[in-house]
Amino acid sequence: MPIYEYRCDACGKEHEALQKVNDEPLKVCPHCNEPALKKQISAAGFRLKGSGWYETDFKSGSKKNIAGEKKSDSAKSSSCCSGGGCSSH
């Protein structure tokens, strides 16, 4: 869900709001209650919520494996092609 930036023409305060893309822009300033909020043009930020793909995609090294699962060296060497000369492929 995008985070939009607003600025109030009445009091000059800036405000961020978490809104759906299709939501109407906010108009009333939460600081001074004047209907003078203007949506700012900026790079939209967003918040990823819940579990999903992003939990591991931007991690590196040992941090990427959050489940604690590790492949052993014996599992790697037990493939049919590891000894060379495999004709099954």
Q: What's the DSSP call for residue 35?
A: S
pLDDT value, residue 10? 96
User: Does the pLDDT of residue 75 top 80, yes or no?
Assistant: no
Q: Examine residue 3 and state whether it is found in any structural domain, yes or no.
A: yes
Any domain includes 37: yes
Number of domains in the chain: 1
At 77, the pLDDT band (50, 70, 90 cuts) reads very low
Quick: pLDDT tens for 15-48. Answer: 999 988 899 999 999 999 999 999 998 776 666 6
CA R_g for the chain: 26
Whether 64 has a pLDDT exceeding 90, the answer reads no
Domain housing 26: 1-43
The CATH number covering residue 1 comes to 2.20.28
Residues 6+ apart with CB under 8 A from 83: none
Q: Is residue 27 in some structural domain? A: yes
46 vs 73, higher pLDDT: 46
Domain annotation covers residue 80? no
Asked whether residue 21 is domain-assigned, the answer is yes
